[in-house]
Amino acid sequence: MWISKREVKEFSQKIRQIIDGQDVDLRVNDEGIWNILCNDIHILAQLKHEQVTVLKRDKAMLKDTLADISHQLKTPLTSMTIMADLLEEAPPEKQAQFIANIKTSLARTDWLVSALLKMAKLEAGAVEFAQEHVKFADLLVLALEPLQIQLELKNQSVKRTGEVKLRCDKRWTAEALTNLIKNASEHAPENSNIQIQAGVNPICAWVSVTDKGPGICDTARAKLFRRFESQSGTGIGLPLAMAIMRGQGGDIEVASGDVGAIFTLKFYD
């Protein structure tokens, strides 16, 4: 097959356009070795374009994540700095108050950093979920461990009903359930019960968390799983729970009951 100098020159110009970031179609429908080469280079150019797109997306995601971390840490760190400066000259009763506030801010900061790092790992696809059969009762015990103090301070109790085996990653799913229970505790009144149920239907196995709070309006529901957009708390717990569930092929459903809100973890086996 004879290839003219003009054809080579035109093809070279198209390749340079691709190098400069332009979207150029190199495909040729005719047969022949030259045309096969054109089509193969077109495929290579498309792969390069996709890789650049992924890199730009990852860079933007990293930028947003760092901005989120900076914004969320600024408030507790500023608060602790101010209280630490005032601590030495404060009267004894104020010192005790400042120390208690600093401890609260430190606990919040520790949880926030941990949650943000977990979210970053999930978004980067760096988590491999281990699928195993887990008893609902065992999962709940693990999920409640970090929340004992919070529940005691508000004199809230957890009522469990139902039993089911869930096919999931035990540690990560417990993290998701912890965040749902934490959210329920924050929105429910003191001296109230948080109902946690489990069951199976023809479509999926499920675990629901029901509180006796004010419920969720449609406007708020649309923002529940967007980072840092909740009206209370840190705004990271529910997005983290959703990322964990979807990473395992599951989902979270939200509804308003007669009293309060109902969050349901769904496991599709």
What was the pLDDT predicted at 225? 81
Q: What is this structure's pTM?
A: 0.68
- What CATH number should be reported for the domain holding residue 246? 3.30.565.10
The length of the chain, given as a count of residues? 269
How many C-beta atoms lie closer than 10 Å to residue 141's C-beta? Answer: 12
Number of structural domains the chain divides into:
2
Only one residue has tokens 């193969």, namely 40
Domain that includes residue 188, residue range:
132-267
Cα torsion angle, 176, 179, 181, 187, sign: negative
pLDDT (tens digit per residue) in 210-266: 998 888 877 777 778 876 665 555 578 899 999 999 999 999 999 887 778 999 999
Only one residue has tokens 């675990």, namely 207
Strand partners, 197: 161, 208
Domain check: are 106 and 146 in the same one? no
Q: Which of 126, 152, 184 is the last residue of a domain?
A: 126
What was the pLDDT predicted at 234? 53
Domain check: are 97 and 136 in the same one? no
Q: Which of 126, 147, 169 is the last residue of a domain?
A: 126
What was the pLDDT predicted at 72? 67
